Amino acid sequence: MDLITLTIDGVEVQVEPGTTVLEAARKAHIHIPTLCYLEGINEIGACRICCVDTGARSLQAACVLPVSQGMKVRTNTPAVREARKMNLELILSNHERKCLTCVRSGNCELQKLSHDLGVSEETRFEGRKTDRPIDDLSPSIVREPNKCVLCRRCVAACAKVQKIGVIGPVMRGFNTAIAPAWNKQLAEVSCINCGQCIEACPVGCLHEKDDTEKVWNLLADPDRHVVVQTAPAVRAALGEEFGMPMGTCVTGKMAAALRRLGFDKVFDTDFGADLTIMEEGTELLGRLQNGGVLPMITSCSPGWIKYCEHYYPEMIPNLSSCKSPHEMLGAVIKSYYAGREDLDPNKVAVVSVMPCTAKKFEAQRPELSNNGLQDVDVVITTRELARMIKEAGIDFARLPDEDFDDMLGESTGASVIFGVTGGVMEAALRTVYEVVTGKTLEKLEFEGVRGFEGVKEASVQMGDMEVKVAVAHGTGNAARLLDAVKSGKKQYHFIEIMGCPGGCVTGGGQPIVCADVQAEVNVKELRAKALYGEDEGKKLRKSHENPSIKKLYAEFLGEPNSHRAHKLLHTTYVTRDKY
């Protein structure tokens, strides 16, 4: 293929046909500012911040302008700088500028652009501002429309990536807003609470519902015994909030910070993941051997579960009945742990630190309770934990590494990879293989289910049985996989689905990465590498080898899928309307 040669600010660049000017500039390490652009997701030229001079009659948007042979592009002329500044001031003219109190202050792309382009708080275009009510009925996501810049990045993430499309442009002209149809709130439509819209938003229009005050109140209550647990993916991203390189695993510092916040016990959701494998693996074997509903589909991701209930209710019988790991651990804390420590379960509070906004919705589900008590009392995201650590004045980067507390803090390498797409499948296969064959699995890495291809397939020989498995991440890919199963084109025994692209490492509650950085680094890959590294460093790497899990079954549960295990660790699902 013949390459196209062009010059950008006097720098000669060669690129393939079809490349945009923005992409060519990045190849030449020339920075063109953007706002509405999100690589591979939202490339629509709406904000015009990326305008450049090509000698044409008017300036053009670099993000949608294809290169041509001999093109001469200038990115820094007086006209370009003035146009960018004017476009930004027009956007700000209808923006609620409460930067000091905004959750995105310091990590806001609009704020950074204003600083870089020399735009002050007072703009040339002060005029009438729209005033719309805040949408905060959802337990997971808050929408503040007066901060919206109409970039449509959230719309693209919801419609193009997740294939859901519950938000979009409504009304026209100056009155245009991004919202659910018919003036509804997010809680009134079939939003799955995945939070990918939050990750896409460049400003503070979309954010998780802040539950940190609930946690502070629990910690201050002398009558409550407050236990915290942290999901696998949190340790792979929390450090970013404190200036550490992406992909830094901060497990030990995280445990230390949680103790300094005042939690009575610091447990690891990885223990719950190991427990999930014991229950889910046994459930899968039971279905394979007794003619149960196949394929069995994992149930760890609450965004995926709600998506299934709304959009594929006919597949509900295929779902594993297992609760998600943090809900399992919450149930165990309020039963086994409370009994061992002679605590009143009514006074035990469980706080889960999750990479996921959908976990906030999940924790409120009436199906996830026992004896009138919710398994988990409060869910906060990775971002919320970071804010609490900063509010407490803890110097996170200088903390010594500490271990989780005993009893429910011990885990294996299999559990930590739950945080990345394919991880639940790999963890399950490590255990199920040894249970079925009675042989030791020498190579623990199942490469066929690793990686970030939208849908992955593999076959695993387990004695006389060939088990066909599939993995999908992001509900857009899940729909493609489920449609193939429903049509009969594909047959599997076991399917893993994660609601978020990449799995929990890029969940809706993780640190937000600006569009410029996303274009330069593979966020999923770096965070996943941290989890795979922790797996490799573990002495025990199979869930059934966890001595604390063995002890739990011996002293309390009996055996996997026992009557008590089903009462505490399994659940049911509901059909929800699609609207």
Establish whether 320 is a catalytic residue.
Answer: yes
Q: Give me the helices (H) in 392-514, please.
A: 413-416, 423-437, 475-487
128 contact partners, CB below 8 Å, separation of at least 6: none
Establish whether 442 is a catalytic residue.
Answer: no
Q: How far apart are CA 38 and CA 508, in angstroms?
A: 16
Catalytic choice (23, 362, 384, 496): 362
Catalytic choice (16, 82, 367, 559): 367
CATH dotted code for 4-92: 3.10.20.740
pLDDT in tens, the chain (579 residues): 699 999 999 999 999 999 999 999 999 999 999 999 999 999 999 999 999 999 999 999 999 999 999 999 999 999 999 999 999 999 999 999 999 999 999 999 999 999 999 997 677 887 788 899 999 999 999 999 999 999 999 999 999 999 999 999 999 988 999 999 998 999 999 999 999 999 999 999 999 999 999 999 999 999 999 999 999 999 999 999 999 999 999 999 999 999 999 999 999 999 999 999 999 999 999 999 999 999 999 999 999 999 999 999 999 999 999 999 999 999 999 999 999 999 999 999 999 999 999 999 999 999 999 999 999 999 999 999 999 999 999 999 999 999 999 988 899 999 999 999 999 999 999 999 999 999 999 888 999 999 999 999 999 999 888 999 999 999 999 999 999 999 999 999 999 999 999 999 999 999 999 999 999 999 999 999 999 999 999 999 999 999 999 999 999 999 999 999 999 999 999 999 988
If DSSP codes are grouped into helix, strand and coil, which group holds residue 35? coil
Establish whether 548 is a catalytic residue.
Answer: no
Supply 343's token pair: 């605590």
**From 3.40.50.150, 1.10.3720.10, 3.40.50.1780, 3.40.50.720, which CATH number describes the 213-569 domain?**
3.40.50.1780
Domain boundaries, the chain: 4-92, 134-209, 213-569
Q: Which residue has the tokens 């965070």?
A: 527
Establish whether 362 is a catalytic residue.
Answer: yes
Same topology between domain 4-92 and domain 134-209? no
pTM of the model: 0.96
Q: How far apart are CA 162 and CA 169, in angstroms?
A: 17
Q: How far apart are CA 269 and CA 504, in angstroms?
A: 13
Establish whether 105 is a catalytic residue.
Answer: no
Let me know: does 12 contact 5? Beta carbons within 8 Å. Answer: yes
Burial of 61 from C-beta contacts in 10 A (0-12 / 13-18 / 19+): buried
Establish whether 102 is a catalytic residue.
Answer: no
Catalytic choice (43, 89, 279, 283): 283
CATH dotted code for 134-209: 3.30.70.20
Catalytic choice (190, 301, 320, 543): 320
